[in-house]
Chains A and B, each alone.
Chain A
Amino acid sequence: MALSLWELRSDADVNSRWVTSFMSSLTAGTFSIAATNPILVIKTRLMSQTSISNQTYVRSAWQYKSALDAARQIYRKEGILAFYSGLAPALLGISHLAIQFPLYEQLKRRFTGSGLGEERERSSYNMLGVLAAASLSKIVASSATYPHEVIRTRLHMRQGLRSTISASPWHGGIMKTANTVWLKEGWRGFYAGMATSMIRAVPASVTTMLVYENVLSLLMALRFDGENKLERANL
């Protein structure tokens, strides 16, 4: 009886952990993506512009000299809303984080015994746990939401929405892009470059989590020691 109650209790714990980390990653994802989307639009434009001398591609419609130049030109030619083209798919990308982080929390807890930002002891075994949890959670989340990324990149690449597309970017932008990809390239279009994306996404996730966990625990330990020493010194 006591055992079954304990099991129920621990199940409830696990459930509440899933719900808690799911809701937290939704919240954090919304804030962080909404705040940084304009920068991402500029980044994508800069990276996908083709140089004048390139023979393989048709020249891209834009030629920016720097990030600042890009920001100025986009603002002047396309208006403030252009910085939020592709925001809706970016918000869909929040679902990516909402898959990745609850999974990461669960996996890391299983491998090392503690959740995100917690550390029981510093050991290479725990670092291996972080590495495994970060890669596995990223692989699952990426394969679930990869089509979003394709659509988002295509949306960012459209320039001069007002002149080329009759519908506003807020209505039909995503559906129209998805439809075009579907008609021109079929389902393969939605998974174009997925292997490449994984080769990039998994090391990115591993780096982010390893660096974050280590820097955080290092600074928290410093803070803890510092507070103790200052407290004792002030007695």
Chain B
Amino acid sequence: MPYDHHDTLGNVEAASSMEYAAAHCSVDFIRTFAGAISGIASSIVTCPLDVIKIKLQAQGGFRRGTTSSRLSFTNRGLLGVGREVWLEKGLKGMYQGLGPSVLAYFPRWAIFFATYHRSHEVFQIWFGKFIHF
């Protein structure tokens, strides 16, 4: 490491490996990375509710209305559908589609935040000129 011997002189603090790595990342990369992490985190938190939400919305499409009176009630709600998924498939059912969900949301937020900041910088200059006199 090129900065090691400075440290032994006692007056320059060496950068840690994390700092060293971060110093070599572009700001765009850091934004993309942070966006990806946030996308992964939010899909893990919301996957069970995602499963339930989609099943609820799909109810109208797939319900077998007339064949069985016991099963034909329309609105079992959040907890009803949740219990049904839990009983039928357990934790695995609750996290059904987590892979695709993470795959969809981590690039989405990575792209979103990186593009957002970049265009924010550009638009700030443009509209700053127009709106300020």
Contact of B96 among A46, A193, A195 (CB under 8 A): A46
Interface residues on A, range: 35 or more
Cβ of B99 within 8 Å of any chain A Cβ, yes or no, is: yes
Within 8 A of A (CB), among B98-128: 99-101, 103-105, 107-109, 111-117, 119-120, 123-124, 127-128
CB contact list, A195-228 vs B, under 8 A: 195-197, 199-200, 203-205, 207-209, 211-212, 215-216, 219-220, 222-223, 225-227
B117's nearest neighbour on chain A, judged by CB, is A117
Q: Does A88 contact B (CB under 8 A)?
A: no
* Contact across chains for B19 and A50 when beta carbons are under 8 A apart: no
Given A209-B38, A230-B23, are A32 and B123 neighbors across the interface (CB < 8 Å)? Answer: no
Given contacts A27-B119, A28-B112, contact A212 B50 (CB under 8 A): no
Q: Which residues of B contact A223 (CB under 8 A)?
A: 19, 22-23, 25, 27, 30
Question: Quick check: is A116 within 8 A (CB to CB) of the other chain?
Answer: yes
Question: Which B residues are CB-close (under 8 A) to A153?
Answer: 54, 57-58
Partner of B108, one of A35, A66, A196, A207: A35
By a CB distance below 8 angstroms, the chain A residues around B15 are 225-226, 229-230, 233
Contact of B14 among A53, A55, A233 (CB under 8 A): A233
Q: What is the interface of chain B mostly: helix, strand, loop, or mixed?
A: helix
| Chain A residue at minimum C-beta to C-beta distance from B43 | A204
Does residue A87 face the partner (Cβ distance < 8 Å to B)? Answer: no
Report chain A residues within 8 Å CB of B51: 47
How far is A191 from B118 in the complex, measured between Cα atoms in Å? 35
A-B interface pairs (CB < 8 A), number? 236
Whether a CB of chain B sits under 8 angstroms from the CB of A184 is yes
In this complex, how many residues of chain B approach chain A with their Cβ under 8 Å: the count is: 80
CB contacts under 8 Å to B, within A125-169, are 149-150, 153-154, 157
Closest B residue, CB atoms, query A220: B30
B-contacting residues, A3-37, CB 8 Å? 9, 12-13, 15-16, 19-21, 23-25, 27-29, 31-33, 35-36
Known: A9-B132, A67-B103, A229-B3. A196 touches B42 (CB 8 A): no
Provide 24 A-B residue pairs closer than 8 Å at the C-beta atoms, listed in order of the A residue. Answer: A19-B123, A23-B119, A32-B109, A36-B107, A47-B50, A55-B68, A56-B63, A56-B64, A117-B117, A153-B54, A196-B56, A200-B50, A204-B42, A212-B34, A212-B35, A216-B30, A219-B22, A219-B25, A220-B27, A220-B30, A223-B19, A223-B22, A223-B30, A229-B3
Residues of B near any A CB (own CB < 8 A): 2-3, 6-7, 12-16, 18-25, 27, 30-31, 33-35, 37-39, 41-42, 45-46, 49-64, 68, 71, 78, 84, 88-89, 96-97, 99-101, 103-105, 107-109, 111-117, 119-120, 123-124, 127-128, 130-133
